[in-house]
């Protein structure tokens, strides 16, 4: 197995034994420490109000985007079925929903439409644009590109850019610090502490859990890593990194049938992970011929690369 580094970022590639869940996950409210003075209490109250407003706005926008995606699919079906009365109704709802999105998501919506209709070169540029915009709502659209060999590499990079994005500079500083500690086994424990601190500071930031899962894996804490992977996938079902990582942990625990199911689920998200595909082939042969109690299949192979 191998751990992948990209700049300071160690990517835990790696997944869930269940199929990807297509859902909108509500953001969790950040913890704001209490202060004894009246002035600080007022500041804390104002900060909490800001967090509640931002969280509510984020959830509403995500729900609107999800509804808009559904209506768009239904509209295509209605037109194909020549049900023009329903199509007109859906088109009106589509416009209402589109107009209610915040500007950044209206921009993303325009990019997604290009993603569906453009040439390969136009699609590649659109994927780059979506990655730079950094809106998690477009992750399902980017994930749909992972099955296209011409688009997969660019889509993967764009998804990682979105996974890593956080608007809180304190979280970004902790991410850099934690990734630095991950470079040496002698400082894995420090990395674990930093990522736990990051999670406490920003519990809705998915990549904090994924990085802690990576450290837990590197430290041989495989069940703890699985728990973090489950958290990641509950919040972001398209996180192919957490997906394949769960399989690696299950493999280390000799839970071969579960590892096979996890790797297969990872390939549903990202069919282009060739090393994971090789693990699947080895595990299928192992489960079919040797049973779960024999020597580990595919030992020494690299996982997570492409």
Span of 15-19, 86-90, 131-135, 194-198 with lowest mean pLDDT? 15-19
What digits encode the pLDDT tens for the residues 26-78? 333 333 233 333 343 444 344 334 433 433 455 678 888 888 889 888 999 99
Q: Which of 114, 116, 103, 102 is nearest to 63 (CA)?
A: 102
Domains of the chain: 31-89 (no CATH), 102-166 (no CATH), 169-289 (1.25.40.10)
DSSP state of 167: S
Q: Could you give the C-alpha distances from 83 to 67, 72, 77, in angstroms and in order? A: 20, 14, 9
What digits encode the pLDDT tens for the residues 104-122? 899 998 899 888 888 999 9
Tell me what percent of the residues of the chain surpass a pLDDT of 70. Answer: 75
What digits encode the pLDDT tens for the residues 178-194? 999 999 999 999 999 99
- Residue 149 neighbours by CB distance under 10 Å: 9
Write down the pTM of the prediction: 0.73
Please say if the pLDDT value at position 19 is more than 90.
no
How many residues does the structure list for the chain? Answer: 306
**What is the average pLDDT across 132-152?**
94
**What is the average pLDDT across 111-136?**
92
Query: In 3-25, which positions are buried (b, 16+ CB within 10 angstroms) versus exposed (e)?
Result: bbeeeebbbbbbbbbeebeeeee
Reported confidence tier of residue 295, pLDDT bands at 50, 70, 90: low
Please say if the pLDDT value at position 271 is more than 50.
yes
Residue 172's pLDDT is what? 94
Residue 297's pLDDT is what? 62
């Amino acid at each position: 197995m191998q751990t992948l580094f990209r700049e300071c970022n160690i990517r835990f590639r790696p997944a869930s034994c269940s199929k990807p869940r297509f859902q909108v996950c509500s953001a969790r409210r950040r913890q704001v420490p209490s202060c004894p003075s009246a002035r600080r209490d007022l500041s804390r109250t104002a900060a909490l109000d800001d967090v509640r407003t931002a969280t509510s706005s984020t959830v509403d926008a995500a729900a609107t985007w999800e509804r808009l995606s559904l209506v768009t699919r239904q509209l295509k079906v209605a037109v194909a079925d020549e049900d023009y009365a329903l199509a007109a109704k859906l088109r009106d709802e589509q416009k209402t929903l589109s107009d209610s999105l915040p500007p950044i998501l209206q921009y993303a919506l325009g990019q997604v439409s290009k993603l569906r209709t453009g040439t390969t070169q136009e699609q590649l540029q659109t994927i780059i644009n979506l990655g730079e915009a950094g809106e998690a709502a477009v992750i399902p659209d980017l994930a749909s590109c992972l099955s296209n060999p011409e688009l997969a590499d660019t889509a993967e990079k764009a998804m990682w850019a979105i996974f890593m994005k956080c608007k809180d500079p304190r979280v970004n500083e902790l991410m850099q610090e934690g990734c630095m500690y991950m470079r040496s086994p002698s400082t894995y424990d420090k990395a674990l502490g930093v990522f736990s601190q990051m999670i406490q500071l920003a519990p809705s930031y998915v990549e904090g859990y994924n990085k802690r899962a990576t450290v837990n894996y590197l430290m041989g804490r495989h069940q703890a890593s699985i728990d973090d992977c489950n958290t990641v996938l509950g919040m972001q079902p398209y996180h192919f990194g957490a997906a394949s990582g769960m399989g690696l942990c299950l493999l280390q625990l000799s839970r071969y049938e579960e590892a096979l199911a996890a790797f297969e689920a990872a390939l549903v998200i990202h069919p282009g992970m060739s090393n994971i595909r090789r693990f699947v082939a080895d595990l299928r042969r192992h489960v079919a011929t040797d049973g779960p109690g024999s020597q580990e299949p595919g030992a020494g192979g690299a996982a997570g690369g492409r």
